[in-house]
Amino acid sequence: MYASCPSVGLVYVFIAEGYQAVLGDSRPWEGLERERILRDLLNAAIEKHDPTRKVQIVGTRELTPTMAPLSRAATSAGHAKLGTLLLGHGKYMSYDSPKVVEAIIRLARASRFRKEPIFRFDADVDIDDRNVRQLLDYYAQHSNRRYYFFSGGYRCRKPANQIDRLLNSYAVRVAQFCDKDGGAGTLDIDKAEPFLKGLPSIGADPEEQIISGAGLCMSPEAIRALPPFANVGEQIVWIDDHLKRILHEDLRHFGYPKHEHCRCKQARFVQDRYRGVVTAADVHWHGDRYLERLVRGCLLDALIQDRSRRRRGLVAQYVDAFMRAGLRPSKAYLETKLKGPANRRLDAVIANWLAPHYVGSPVRNFAENLAAARSGQGGGMPYIDEVIDAVDTYLDLLEIWSQFVNLCEGVDRRLKANRWLFRQPV
């Protein structure tokens, strides 16, 4: 796709296996071997399909000259291991873990080429030149701003097919409303549509939210200011797009109205998550693991942005205080202050998903289990502690982020080992 897209001049493809193995210190030789195999396969595909060589592989070989001094900086700052700053609990890849590598590329290239549009696409998105050009036009309109943070959107392959639209036109997933035995055609439209329409009251608006994998573009200043949520220990939906965007919004980086310039509506890329097949395993995963991730996203949304009082959320306040004066709240303080708003949002999620039209669905079952857990533990707080942990670890990364930015912007482009970072587009 990229090779046949003339508006794209350079493609960075990140291989995560070696990166994760080295940082996580878990069977690193096996991870590096998997990276070697993937690199060989990719190089063979590049030779066959990309005669202009616009694809640049990024693995441990390319990252070592930058990551080594970052590791030394982390150690001197008192952090035991770099992995604890860049991976969840120093072991796992979360949604935003690879975005540290993306930040290296964006920051280093911005120091050399100043204005240059760089877009992020997920592997399950089909790229076409017409929509890339729409993004480029949108970039030209907004790139004079100090801060910009926008993306395109998704569309389904068959516009007339309502089931395909619900399964593939949104960042949020609805396969949990298919029959338990699977089958895309079994999607319950009468449950999936209200589910999407109810999300804006408890999280991101599926019709408007920024989408990480649909050509997300960030200004260099946005990356200099805030790191990605790379080191959270649990998977949290929206953490690499909507949640980062609203943190910027509440730090007043975009002016007013703060929700403007979020989505390029003209750029819509085909997404086909299931290739027309939704299996029983897909349905089970969505009704269990995915809903857990979605709840965490709803909770963190409440902590970052306080919609009810139309003021900055507590997390945005703490990040601002650190950026201005180096004030870092303790974990105990975070727990004291954040449990209240997180509890209120969790109650709202439960109430939303207990609606009568969800009866018989995994969403209703999930909400009933949540409600039972809270009442059975004296008002227990499932998922809340995990989200507060994510805030605490994010502040850890923020402590070293300025050093990371300086390292990326100071990468010596004269060194042969760093040439991959400064390649000219084809």
As a dihedral over the C-alpha atoms of residue 73, residue 78, residue 84, residue 85, rounded to 10 degrees, the angle is: -50
pLDDT > 70: percent of the chain:
96
- For residue 308, what pLDDT is reported? 67
- For residue 377, what pLDDT is reported? 55
Q: What is the pTM of this model?
A: 0.92
What residues pair up with 312 in beta bridges, in sequence order? 305
Give CA separation, 24 vs 47, 83, 87, 90, 401, in Å: 32, 6, 7, 5, 20
**Residue spans of the chain under pLDDT 70:** 25-26, 79-80, 90, 257, 259, 308-310, 377-380
- For residue 404, what pLDDT is reported? 87
Give CA separation, 184 vs 64, 95, 123, 155, 276, in Å: 44, 25, 21, 17, 6
Distance CA 128, CA 268 (A): 10
Sign of CA dihedral 51, 269, 38, 218: positive
- For residue 136, what pLDDT is reported? 97
Distance CA 252, CA 323 (A): 13
- Residue by residue, DSSP assigns 268-328 as EEEE-SSTT---HHHHHHIIIIIHHHHHHHHHHHHHHEETTTTEE-HHHHHHHHHHHH---
- For residue 365, what pLDDT is reported? 96
pLDDT in tens, 136-156: 999 999 999 999 999 999 999
- For residue 90, what pLDDT is reported? 67
pLDDT in tens, 223-245: 999 999 988 888 999 999 999 99
